């Protein structure tokens, strides 16, 4: 099936479908590069180049969302790894002592921010699968595909993340009830 706004080198991908995913993809790109807007935009641009050139080809084996999220994940893993390390180093020396990992304003410790902080304190893969499944409405299978891991491994990370979050939330509730 070829749509009228399908891409030349990726006939299964339509521009409108990509545009619909743009906001979510930006959120995912942000979390891939330490919430740096400029790097996230570069990452998305590079992902679109991959789709445009046909180097990444969509063959309807997964959803388009899984496909583009996977491209961003792979690009972030390969090209932006060194950049992220450099950015982290710059931030460490430019703003010493500050938690620069998130764009959240930690001066205001509302409950929701504390919960999100608990998510961010999870190990990388647990954090990724939590974000993909809970916040991006993906199934564990889709999330595992994006992360480039097997479904079994994905389930293990998901279960561990859930347990850690349940503990963290219980602890938060406990603190609230004590206050």
Partner 1 sequence: MSDNDIREVVKDAHGAVQRPEPPAFDRVWSAAESQHLIERRRYATFSGIAAALAMVAIVAGLWSSQEAGMSDDYLIADSLLNTTQWSAPSDALMPTHEFDIYQEIPFLMESTDLEEGTLL
List interacting residues with partner 1 (CB under 8 A).
15, 18-19, 22-23, 26-27, 30, 35, 37, 41, 44-46, 48-49, 52-53, 102-105, 110, 112-113, 115-116, 119, 130-131, 133-135, 162, 165-166, 169-170
Residue 137 CB, nearest approach to partner 1 (Å): 9
DSSP letters of 45-107?
HHHHHHHHHTSS---SSS-HHHHHHHHHHHHHHHTHHHHHHHHHHHHHHHSTT---SSSS-TT
Cβ 41 to partner 1, closest distance in Å?
5
Least distance from C-beta 102 to partner 1, angstroms? 7
User: Which is closer to partner 1, CB of 61 or CB of 177?
Assistant: 177
CB neighbour list of residue 52: distance below 8 Å, 6 or more residues apart = 7, 9, 10
Of 67, 85, 83, 2, nearest to 28 by C-alpha is: 67
Q: Closest CB to partner 1 among 35 and 64?
A: 35
Shortest distance, position 177 Cβ to partner 1, whole Å? 15
168/118 Cα distance (integer angstroms): 7
């Amino acid at each position: 099936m070829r749509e009228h706004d399908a891409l030349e080198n990726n006939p299964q991908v339509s521009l409108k479908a990509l545009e619909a995913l743009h906001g979510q993809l930006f959120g995912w790109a942000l979390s891939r590069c330490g919430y740096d807007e400029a790097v996230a935009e570069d990452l998305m641009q590079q992902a679109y180049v991959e789709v445009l050139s046909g180097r990444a080809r969509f063959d309807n084996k997964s959803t388009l969302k899984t496909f583009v999220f996977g491209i961003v994940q792979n690009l972030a893993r390969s090209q932006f790894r060194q950049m992220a390390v450099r950015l982290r180093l710059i931030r460490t020396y430019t703003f010493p002592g500050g938690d620069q990992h998130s764009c959240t304003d930690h001066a205001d410790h509302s409950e929701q921010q504390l919960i999100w902080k608990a998510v961010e304190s999870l190990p990388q893969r647990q954090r990724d699968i939590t974000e993909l499944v809970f916040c991006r409405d993906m199934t564990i299978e889709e999330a595992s595909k994006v992360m480039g891991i097997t479904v079994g491994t994905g389930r293990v990370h998901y279960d561990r993340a859930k347990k850690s979050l349940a503990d963290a939330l219980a602890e938060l509730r406990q603190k609230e009830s004590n206050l």
